[in-house]
Structure 1
Amino acid sequence: MIFHIAEESDWTAARAAGDYRVSTRGRTLAEEGFIHASRRDQVLGVAEAFYADAGPLLLLSIDPTRLSAPVRDDEVAPGVVFPHIYGPIDLDAVVAVTPLDRGADGSYRLPPS
């Protein structure tokens, strides 16, 4: 399983369009060339680094075997590897959509697995 943090409005638009094409906050697949994803242990770091001031967020749980686009593990810094999806996310590859909530201290909390 891989994960993608999505803003609610982007997920709503994807459901209407038939696939998901947002790479990361404010950047599309066409602009970036791939869609950023993470493993479960990377989600909170990404949320804090790039979405600290964001509105409601969703965590998309993606089954990579159901994607029509290839997934590659890319090294983004020495020894730091993230999965990237090189095409749109097929809606049926998204097996769960859960709110990415904040705790009382304001930090993001992972939903139960």
Structure 2
Amino acid sequence: MTGLIYKITPEAPWRAAEASGVYKGAPIDAADGFIHFSTAAQARETAAKHFAGQTDLLLVAVDAAALGDALKWEPSRGGAMFPHLFASLPMTAVRWAEPLRLDAGGRHVFPDGFA
């Protein structure tokens, strides 16, 4: 599969990764042995399930094709196929990173134009 995939991450560790040129993932990624991503169709549910009420988050868009064979599509939540990266994420594959703010009801507000 190609196109964009998405990572939701706290801003501070992401900014440190930008400075180093590579993102190695969050603690959950390290524990699982891969970096978790979501498709556009999965990202809102991922935010609600794993990041409910959290502030200072970023939604990071990544070019799936740029990740090569290290990106695997595997069944996860409800049997849906999720993108998992079995390597560090090079910043060269990142297309953009935008704030993922909360609305007055505590739900994440995705960037304008997000699917």
1:24-63 equivalence runs, <5 A = 26-29=27-30, 31-63=31-63
Instruction: Provide structure 2 residue ranges, at least 5 long, that are not aligned to the other structure.
Output: none
Cα 1:40–1:7 change in 2 (3 A) is same
SS of corresponding position for 1:22:
coil
- After TM superposition, give the deviation of residue 104 of structure 1 in Å: 2.2
- Equivalent residue, structure 1, for 2:9: 6
Letter in 1 for 2:28: R
- Select the structure that is richer in helix: 2
- TM-score (norm. length: structure 1): 0.86
Paired with 1:44 and 1:77, the residues of 2 have a C-alpha distance of 13
1:1-113 equivalent positions in 2, closer than 5 A: 1-23=4-26, 26-29=27-30, 31-67=31-67, 70-113=70-113
- What SS does structure 1 have at the residue aligned with 2:95? strand
Q: Which runs of 5+ in 1 are unaligned?
A: none
Tell me by how many angstroms 1:2 deviates: 0.3
Structure 1 residue 62 displacement after superposition: 0.2
Instruction: Note the C-alpha offset of 1:57.
Output: 0.3
User: How high is the TM-score relative to the length of structure 2?
Assistant: 0.84
**Matched pairs, number:** 110
